[in-house]
Amino acid sequence: MTKSSVTTEATQTTDEEVSRDFVRQVSAAIDERAAVPLKILVTDLHESDLADLLENLPPNYRNDFIELMGTEFNIDVYAQLEEPVRAQIVEDMPNDQVADVIRKLDTDDAVYLIEDLEQAEQTAILEQIPEIERAPLERSLEYPDDSAGRLMQADFIAVPPFWSVGQTIDYMRETKDLPDHFSEIYVINPDFHLLGILPLNRLLRSGRPTRVSDIMDDDHKIIEADLDQEEVARQFERYNLLSAPVVDNDQRLLGVVTVDDVVDVIQEEAEEDIKRLGGVGDEALSDTVINITKSRFTWLMINLFTAILASVVINMFEATINEKVALAVLMTIVASMGGNAATQTMTVSVRALATKELNTVNAIRIITREGLVGLANGVLFAFVTGLVTLIWFQNLGLAVIMGTAMIFNMLIAGFSGILIPMILERLKIDPAVASSVFVTTVTDIVGFFSFLGLAALFLI
């Protein structure tokens, strides 16, 4: 994505972000209601940079900014905004203004703009849009969130198979209401069933008398409208697609998914997995303190209960620890090493499950591999930690117990890091959300129990 830069006497935007001084200049122009200086400041900003600027402005300045920009405001910015910022801007706009914006956007971006609004507000906005423009929006909104039906663009070029190349080119030249960007033409029958796809480069290289049916591809990839967007992205990656037709259950053509939308999905899904692994939900940088606190509280509470569970295990060996204080010093090392090793395996496993790289075909091989990795690391760190324990406490028995517990916990860490995400997925529970809690609980309990249990048996 190309970034533009704006240079003034005081500041300039960088390739990565709008600077703090630039935001201050824009804020000052808004305070003074100075529309002309404001337009000069932002005139060269790319839509993505303009979205960054809006996100960095105080909430009460954002709608004033849009108002001052008037007709020169780039409406494509709405599709680039983080959800909380977009929602705040739309909520502060009158319904007729929202309806006007929607009419100017591509259908996929228009759906993105209003899909999170309350049903009553959605209906009120859509009623102000002519029926011919409203129908594809309502159809997209009928599909589940994060599905191809929500992701698709309803604007595409479709022609009958009996047309010639010349007719098709003339049609595209003479018709005003066509997509701004496209790379494929869809060939359909009178019932809108997809017959084939004609790449634009092949159309332009063929003679005008050539029939469309003679040069179209009838072996093509299609996307079901209710397919999850993550699977859509996987198909684009697997088959190197630039666009793909979206069809309903009767194989009628509904719209098209393009690669620019899929790139957004890939980034969104990867970001979502990372956040869920950390137990932070779907929060954005623009969220309020209250919303972020609510988002994080649940998982922190769950972690509190798992920490209490680990403490219960420690309490079982209270007498053992009192007899030998060194155990209290060393037991956390065993548990933390197991937790770190399990987190490494879990991170790889969750991502492999999300991308379907880990499946029933290779599951046994991968589980065995992770177990062997855990065992190998366990042996290596058993030697290191055992040697450190021997030098530190001058106790060979304690060193042997330390090494033995390390091997056992690292082995369990390898297996739990892959098995727990796989079990959760089989139970239809998102492994990215729940894996970390279970994995760290297992390694903590096993680490404490194995180390303190061995000490109770052989040292006390």
pLDDT tier, 8 (very low <50, low <70, confident <90, very high otherwise): very low
pLDDT confidence of residue 159: 95
pLDDT at 329 over 80: yes
Query: In this predicted model, what pLDDT tens digit does every residue of 146-175 receive, in sequence order?
Result: 899 999 988 899 999 999 999 999 999 998
How confident is the model over 15-62, as pLDDT tens digits?
445 688 999 999 999 999 999 999 999 988 888 899 999 989 998 999
Residue 12 pLDDT more than 50?
A: no
pLDDT of residue 397: 92
At 5, is the pLDDT very low, low, confident or very high (cuts 50, 70, 90)? very low
Using the predicted structure, report yes or no on whether residue 11 has a pLDDT greater than 60: no
pLDDT score at 302 = 77
| Percentage of the residues of the chain whose pLDDT score is greater than 70 | 93
Q: What is the pTM of this model?
A: 0.66
Count the neighbouring beta carbons within 10 Å of the beta carbon of residue 452: 26
Q: What average pLDDT does this structure show over 234-252?
A: 90
Over residues 127-150, the pLDDT tens digits come to 999 988 898 898 889 998 889 999
| pLDDT average, residue stretch 271-284 | 69
pLDDT of amino acid 285 = 64
Q: How confident is the model at residue 13 (pLDDT cuts 50, 70, 90)?
A: very low
pLDDT grade for 9, boundaries at 50, 70 and 90: very low
| Highest averaged pLDDT of the listed ranges 275-284, 323-332, 337-346 | 337-346
Residue 3, pLDDT above cutoff 50: no
Question: Are 164 and 210 in contact, with CB atoms under 8 Å apart?
Answer: yes
Position 44 scores a pLDDT of 85
pLDDT, tens digit (0-9, with 9 covering 90-100), for 177-204: 888 888 899 999 999 999 999 999 999 9
pLDDT digits (tens, 9 = 90+) for 337-395: 999 999 899 988 988 887 788 888 899 999 999 999 999 999 999 999 999 999 999 99
Q: Which domains does the chain have, with CATH numbers?
A: 20-146 (1.25.60.10), 158-260 (3.10.580.10), 289-458 (1.10.357.20)
428: region left, alpha or beta (phi > 0 left; psi from -120 to 50 alpha): left
pLDDT at 286: 61
Mean pLDDT (the chain, rounded): 87
